[in-house]
Amino acid sequence: QSVLTQPPSVSGAPGQRVTISCTGSSSNIGAGYDVHWYQQLPGTVPKLLIFGNSNRPSGVPDRYSGSRSGTSASLAISGLQAEDEADYYCQSYDTSLSGSVFGGGTKLTVL
Amino acid sequence: QVQLVQSGAEVKQPGASVKVSCKASGNTFTNYYMDWVRQAPGQGLEWMGIINPSGGITRYAQKLQGRVTMTSDTTTNTVYMELSSLRSEDTAVYYCARGTAVAGYFDDWGQGTLVTVSS
């Protein structure tokens, strides 16, 4: 049971827009801690996708966007492409656990 | 940016210990942290703990308290993660990842080290 809750899977057709939610609580996202997102392509190392809720590292396309509100955050991917098929993880900090926490991950399938 | 190179795969028996290394290059140890994250086969990411390499200060996930130890060697820019009393559930790929702050994000990752616990 992950501290941050994500849907196990989402899907969309090429060109469509999908969103992945990340629900926390008052001890992590709701406490004001930033949410970060990682993309893990099959068989590869996780890669930072979004940091500080909505910021993209250099080289990440602007098709990826993030937001945070209350005790939740979301990752949106627009103009879906086959190469977006991957696992996506949200991450934040939890004061009760005194450490970082991850969501359980969401598998994105491009139909 | 920093490059993180981890030690090779390990096979251990239940009850043994394993020590994984992570050598940083391209930048110094100062002003950032190193976290360890693991991923069991087919499972999600699990944060294990954090070390401030230059100061040696550590913080571990509550679940692993008493079994995990993180250390650093500033002369070789290397951090280590040792996990003791290994169980089959510890079979996973172990990653080191550069952390921007105690409550920050991970912007560079090692290539991962597979640790298999099996009798």
Q: Is the CB of A14 inside 8 Å of chain B's CB atoms?
A: no
The mean-pLDDT minimum among B23-27, B66-70, B74-78 falls in B23-27
Q: Is the CB of A51 inside 8 Å of chain B's CB atoms?
A: yes
The rounded distance, in Å, linking the Cα atoms of B75 and A35 is: 34
Going by the DSSP 8-state scheme, the letter that residue B62 receives in this structure is G
For the stretch B23-66, pLDDT in tens is 998 766 667 899 999 999 999 999 999 999 888 789 999 999 99
pLDDT at B1: 78
For the stretch B81-115, pLDDT in tens is 999 999 999 999 999 999 998 899 999 999 999 99
DSSP, residue by residue, A38-87: EEE-TTS--EEEEBTTTBPPTT--TTEEEEEETTEEEEEE-S--GGG-EE
Q: Find chain B residues with C-beta within 8 A of A48's C-beta.
A: 105-107
Contact A102 B47 (CB under 8 A): yes
In chain A, which stretches have pLDDT less than 50? none
pLDDT at A36: 98
Mean residue pLDDT across chain A: 97
Q: Is there a contact between A30 and A10 (Cβ–Cβ < 8 Å)?
A: no
